[in-house]
A and B are shown apart, each in its own frame.
Chain A
Amino acid sequence: MCMKVEFTHIQSAHCENGVTTNLLKQAGVHQMTEPLAFGIGSGLFYIQIPFLKINNGPAIAFRNMPGAIFKRTCQELNIPVIRKKFSSPQKAQAFLEEQLLTYRRAVGCQVGVYYLPYFPKEYRFHFNAHNIIVYGKEADTYFVSDPVMETVTTLSAYDLQRVRFAKGALAPKGQIYFPKGNVVISSEQMKKAIKKGIKKNAFYMLKLPGNIAGVRGIKRTANQIKTWKDTLGLHTAGLYLAQLVRMQEEIGTGGGGFRFIYAAFLQEAHAYLKNDSLLSISESFTQSGDIWRKAAAHAAGIYKGRLSAQADFNLMADYLHQISEIEKEAFTALSKLNPSF
């Protein structure tokens, strides 16, 4: 038996943005784009989690918690959501099939990438917060839309179960999520959601207590980088920087750690809100993304072994300080736009 839900695959830079965009489009929110999903979901972030090591390097993220973009975007647009975790793979599969066959809807699934057969081996770490859409089934094969891939793909029932029940940190536990029904979103509602998304994102980047997250988090990392050569030795310091770059990048943020997507969001926000400040603030994020890229290229000199002086680490820290300042100013400007715009 072959069953496919009507579904259009649109490739995106980042998996959760893509799943959110494509699921919402399917549910009737035709205006949704990747930058809008990212911005309304207040996706831009920075955090270096203290004491935690991932793959023997620092735990750094450039976006908010996995699952948060979908959750917040739906929340701001008042779209009811169904989200379920499962204790047994059998129940998880039965629920998925019910959605596909009975309700004829495509659904989002959280999966681990380690056992994802269509990913290049070099990208397969034990990272459990990848997102895909399952939109059909034929015999033992599921039709899958992975937003970071150019085209749709498939997974066998065995492989799908394996990635849905990947284990370790952030284990997906078969997690499945989708908008509950069809909705129509007016442009008034979009405006409101965009404003709220901007406001929240400014809060997360500027106002979280402590210095591990947001613009102060970037400064904290910068200050640590200056000490890495002495405290870790050149080899490990290089590995740490490679990890920073990998987190900045992984697949498809263009090296700017999501800053370019946010800049694109502000341009799209301008089309709704007609406030010209948004355009100039958008340029600030482009600038910040460009410095992130410059910093990454510089870091590559260190982990390649071409650069090794303390001055090179200091320059790296300087880049991050600049970024922190630019983003602080940009988000402060954004938070001040409220409530007048």
Chain B
Amino acid sequence: MKQTEIPQDDSKLKNFTKEVCYVVDDKGAYTTQLSTGWEVKALALQTTWDEVQQRAEAAKQEALQGKTSPLKFFLEIKLMDLPTLAAYTGFWQWQIKRHFNPSVFNRLSEKKMQKYASVFEVSMDQLKKMNVHES
């Protein structure tokens, strides 16, 4: 990439930092230059986040219909997979899978419920009602 071609597009890094890029100057030598971002990359990130939102919304609907517990919704919005949630909560993966069942989830002890709530950074009430707004 030539120094003159470096993109200065809008990105989520705005107000946080600019990124260093290695570019070729007019004599063919490498140098570094700061970039505010690249549209192509910003879009890739946006696509990923849109998908996260969609998956979360689908999980929420399933939970509201009683097909699954709220845990799946939180798993999506917190970008976690089962091994990650297991590592943070200290539960086994098979336990978490059991807790996906609404009737099992609703009978969880306060202690276990609290564990999920604190890992997901919500109150117990929010955990049950899934009424969180990701800012």
A283 to B1, CA, bound (A): 11
Give A179 Cβ to nearest chain B Cβ, in Å: 23
Give A105 Cβ to nearest chain B Cβ, in Å: 25
Chain B interface, number of residues (Cβ within 8 angstroms): 38
Chain A interface, number of residues (Cβ within 8 angstroms): 53
A24 in contact (CB, < 8 A): no
Binds B, one of A72-80, A189-197, A289-297: A289-297
Interface 1/0 per residue, A8-42 and B, CB below 8 Å: 00011100000000000000000000010000000
Q: Is the interface of B mostly helix, strand, loop or mixed?
A: mixed
Interface 1/0 per residue, A275-306 and B, CB below 8 Å: 00000001100100110010011011001100
| Interface contact B41-A246, CB-CB below 8 Å | yes
Chain B's closest residue to A122 (CB) is B12
A251 to B18, CA, bound (A): 9
Cβ–Cβ < 8 Å partners of A267 in chain B: 29-30
In the complex, chain A residues 221-267 whose Cβ is within 8 Å of any chain B Cβ: 238-239, 242-243, 245-246, 249, 251-256, 260-261, 263-264, 267
A260 to B23, CA, bound (A): 7
| Interface contact B17-A150, CB-CB below 8 Å | yes
Set A122, A126, A149, A303: member contacting B17, Cβ < 8 A? A149
Give B122 Cβ to nearest chain A Cβ, in Å: 15
Cβ–Cβ < 8 Å partners of B64 in chain A: none
Cβ–Cβ < 8 Å partners of B66 in chain A: none
Cβ–Cβ < 8 Å partners of A119 in chain B: 16
Binds B, one of A82-90, A166-174, A321-329: A166-174
Cβ–Cβ < 8 Å partners of A272 in chain B: none
Cβ–Cβ < 8 Å partners of A249 in chain B: 38, 41, 44
Cβ–Cβ < 8 Å partners of A261 in chain B: 22
| Interface contact B21-A239, CB-CB below 8 Å | no
Contact A254 B16, CB 8 Å, known A169-B83, A260-B23 = no
Chain A's closest residue to B52 (CB) is A55
| Interface contact B16-A300, CB-CB below 8 Å | no
A268 to B6, CA, bound (A): 21
Give A54 Cβ to nearest chain B Cβ, in Å: 9
B40 in contact (CB, < 8 A): yes
Cβ–Cβ < 8 Å partners of B22 in chain A: 13, 35, 254, 260-261, 263-264
B88 in contact (CB, < 8 A): yes
B49 in contact (CB, < 8 A): yes
| Interface contact A114-B17, CB-CB below 8 Å | no
B61 in contact (CB, < 8 A): no
| Interface contact B39-A126, CB-CB below 8 Å | no
A95 in contact (CB, < 8 A): no
Cβ–Cβ < 8 Å partners of A286 in chain B: 1, 24
Cβ–Cβ < 8 Å partners of A150 in chain B: 17-18, 34
Give B37 Cβ to nearest chain A Cβ, in Å: 10
A107 to B9, CA, bound (A): 34
Contact A254 B48, CB 8 Å, known A120-B13, A126-B80, A296-B40 = no
Give A207 Cβ to nearest chain B Cβ, in Å: 26
B79 in contact (CB, < 8 A): yes
Contact A293 B43, CB 8 Å, known A55-B79, A167-B84 = no
Given contacts A126-B84, A242-B43, 5 further A-B contacts (CB under 8 A): A167-B88, A168-B87, A245-B41, A256-B1, A300-B44
User: A-contacting residues of B (Cβ < 8 Å)?
Assistant: 1, 6, 12-13, 16-24, 28-30, 32, 34-35, 38-41, 43-45, 47-49, 51, 55, 79-81, 83-84, 87-88
A sample of 14 inter-chain contacts (CB < 8 A) reads A13-B22, A119-B16, A120-B16, A122-B49, A126-B81, A171-B87, A239-B48, A246-B48, A249-B44, A260-B22, A261-B22, A296-B44, A297-B40, A303-B44
User: B-contacting residues of A (Cβ < 8 Å)?
Assistant: 11-13, 35, 55-56, 114, 118-123, 125-126, 148-150, 167-169, 171, 238-239, 242-243, 245-246, 249, 251-256, 260-261, 263-264, 267-268, 282-283, 286, 289-290, 293, 296-297, 299-300, 303-304
Top 6 nearest A-B pairs (CB, nearest first) are A168-B84, A167-B87, A264-B30, A254-B21, A252-B19, A260-B22
